[in-house]
Amino acid sequence: MIIPSLCVSLFDPLLVISAALQDEEEEDEGEMMSDHLKDSEEPSNKRVKPVMKSNSLTGVITPVKTPALKRIGQSISRSISFRTEARPLPPAHLRQRSKASSFPRRRNSQCWSDTVESHDLTVKEIKRQEVIYELTEGERQLIDDLSLVKKVYYEPMLKLDIMTESELGQIFGTLDSLIPLHQDLLSRLERLRGSEKTVGEVGPTLINWFPCLEAYVTYCCNQVGAKALLDQKKNEKRVEHFLRLCQESSFSRKLDLWNFLDLPRSRLVKYPLLLKEIQKCTPPDHPDEDTLPDALELIQSIVAEVNKKTGEAECQFYRRGLMYLEDGQRLPEIQQSRFLYCHGELKNNKGQRLHVFLFELALVLSRPGEDRDGGQVFHVYRQPLPNALINLEEIPDGEAAGGGTFRGAFTGGNDKVKNCFRVSSRGRSKAHSFSLQANDSFSKQQWITCLRQAIVHSRDKKAQTSQSQLPPHPDPALYHIAELSLGSSTDMVDHTSR
């Protein structure tokens, strides 16, 4: 006999997650009460061993109990089965489990050939149908995943008051509006399938639908702030518990919420790749031969526009997060920058960890911090450098530190350095020289490549600006006027009569 309320919970993620959260809170309270009773039963004259100071977190973090996680996973797995193309999170971000989960992380792949009993197509035609089928099924899977996000993440967090409606609106952005957009393409593609489950001409359908993807500008531009807010909210115990319960459950296949929120972006950049594959498999005399190049050009232009707008939004977001110690640090080049080349963590010659931003026109070193609301800010460290004035020097691995320049921070007690480079500003006597160290050789080369690009771009732009500010060249026909003598009316007559 099954209790009615249990039957409901098996098919309602909200009830399951709510019950799991309540169970976990009760377990935490029970453990606290048990510890309190044990303490009260101890004799008052018992010696207490002092707690030793330790740099390890193992002595201060309480292991998380898992029965509630196991229950929610078993319950939801019976009613929900969604799939995704997103990558699973790195193992280090997941909590260690005593037993490996058997939940699959990816969908069971199915080919077009598996859906038909027989066909008389050539190998190239079969490949074309396979790619079109992959395009169609990708739309279906994306719709499933976006619907999952709405039902299992957004709605429960709103109903359980885990986040406010405003916070959820910032994190999820316009995700809800993308579902009908992709449902439209899916229905169009399905209508193209004939009685033999083959698709003839697909180019015109894609050309007519691709302009709908301009809606991605709003969604992708919002993602920078959405990720920052989500990371901030994860520090709250109730939010962390909810997201962990979802991640450890079968419907997510160990994927984090952000993996799902990032699916639309990853889907967008996949369209050009799929079109190129369809184009490769399209014979010269096929009707798609004329329309596919136009469709590819259209989607590439849309992706480029989304990338551009997203880069501008990212630049504005981090620019707003900069906290200046003095007005002299507010370079006009920072405000004039439209995008970021790259940003990330580097060490200075004292071993301090800095967050470095390479904007379009300026290099900014900062120290991460938090504002009053717990949001991340970046305190500008020393004087930012205009990219047009940067001197870049690559420090070869194994070079001696020399003169205590690195103070052993880069070398770990040895006299050699690794993965380091130096930036300084030419033409400025008060500007500092910064020796920076990357985490590995690959990261170092990425920074050096981006810096070189930024330096060349900034100098070219500065040269173009200087050129445009020069006075216009005089008309060659008027050159003789410069030779005129203001004191001679005769000369004037002679010249003008030529």
pLDDT tens sequence across 237-282: 999 999 999 998 888 888 899 999 999 999 999 999 999 999 999 9
**pLDDT classification of 13: cutoffs 50, 70, 90:** low
Over the stretch 154-168, which tens digit does the pLDDT of each residue have? Answer: 999 999 999 999 999
Span 83-95, average pLDDT = 35
User: Could you tell me the domains of the chain?
Assistant: 121-321 (1.20.900.10), 324-466 (2.30.29.30)
pTM (2 decimals)? 0.70
The residues, any chain, with a CB within 8 Å of residue 288's CB and separated by 6 or more, are 201, 202, 203, 278, 279, 282
**Secondary structure letter of residue 214 according to DSSP:** G
Are the beta carbons of 377 and 364 closer than 8 angstroms? no
Are the beta carbons of 232 and 375 closer than 8 angstroms? yes
Are the beta carbons of 363 and 388 closer than 8 angstroms? no
pLDDT at 81: 29
Higher pLDDT, 73 or 232: 232
Among 344, 356, 354, 414, residue whose Cα is nearest residue 387: 356
Does the pLDDT of residue 82 top 50, yes or no?
Answer: no
**pLDDT classification of 197: cutoffs 50, 70, 90:** confident
Q: Tell me the two tokens of residue 396.
A: 């070869």
Higher pLDDT, 52 or 249: 249
Are the beta carbons of 335 and 316 closer than 8 angstroms? no
Q: Which helix (H) or strand (E) holds 330?
A: none
**pLDDT classification of 121: cutoffs 50, 70, 90:** confident
| CA–CA gap between residue 84 and residue 143 (Å, rounded) | 10
Buried-state track 194-215, b at ≥16 Cβ within 10 A, e below 16? eeeebbeebbbbbbebbeebee
> Cα–Cα–Cα angle for 92, 93, 94, nearest 5°?
95
pLDDT at 250: 84
> Cα–Cα–Cα angle for 483, 489, 490, nearest 5°?
85
**pLDDT classification of 452: cutoffs 50, 70, 90:** very high
Span 359-388, average pLDDT = 93
pLDDT at 17: 62
Among 148, 98, 139, residue whose Cα is nearest residue 255: 148
Most confident by average pLDDT, 39-53, 241-255, 290-304? 290-304
Are the beta carbons of 293 and 347 closer than 8 angstroms? no
Over the stretch 56-78, which tens digit does the pLDDT of each residue have? Answer: 333 333 333 333 223 223 332 33
> Locate tokens 């305190």: which residue?
379
Are the beta carbons of 127 and 245 closer than 8 angstroms? no
